[in-house]
A and B are shown apart, each in its own frame.
Chain A
């Protein structure tokens, strides 16, 4: 079945460590996104990519990094520079372009906790 796969579902990070969250999609979508979700904060955009080998910062990119070497993959690295990384992270994808009903599809999310 087509969809977005995020892994791991749960991840624990020690202070000072970098961790990488995986996101793979088989929907043949050009655009991919990373969102962070905190209680009462809604969905905040970290990074997005509209094409392979290109990506743009979102609203809260500090302390995060991404790569887009393949169309189907968009991993997110949470670096030690991110001071408050404990959150629920959502990867998403969509068809890119001026299509009026351009639905964003989300993965199941990854929980990151700092220990």
Chain B
């Protein structure tokens, strides 16, 4: 059972456009939602994260929007640049379950054309 569903699987955007990646979850006990960015041949790295007590978090051109009632969260990349081309993973973690291991989405491959 896929606990965090991520879409789209791939995304092509023109330079300067907005990239939007969506994730949906089922477990209402999830309490921490990080996004990871992975460049080809490298390991993922934390990009930005949000807790469910806020609806939005912004860091530079990257924004997480969080809708607790809909159990959805999304990553928005404003003014997308070719250097943003990477695979993006959303994740969610349930502390109450006693495990600190996040559940990852399947990833979105983003290509930003110059």
Which of B9, B93, B106 meets A102, CB within 8 Å? B93
Which of B31, B43, B51, B93 meets A106, CB within 8 Å? B43
Please give the number of chain B residues whose Cβ is less than 8 angstroms from any Cβ of chain A in the complex: 24
Interface string of A94-106 (1 = CB under 8 A from B): 1011111111111
**Chain A residues with CB below 8 A from B93, complex form:** 102
Stretch at the interface among B12-20, B67-75, B78-86, B96-104: B96-104
| Residues of chain B from 28 to 51 with CB closer than 8 A to chain A in the complex | 31-32, 34, 36, 41-46, 49, 51
Please give the number of chain A residues whose Cβ is less than 8 angstroms from any Cβ of chain B in the complex: 26
Pairwise interchain contact A94-B100, C-beta atoms closer than 8 A: yes
Pairwise interchain contact B42-A100, C-beta atoms closer than 8 A: no
Binding site for B on A (CB under 8 A): 4, 31, 33, 40-43, 45, 48, 90, 92, 94, 96-109
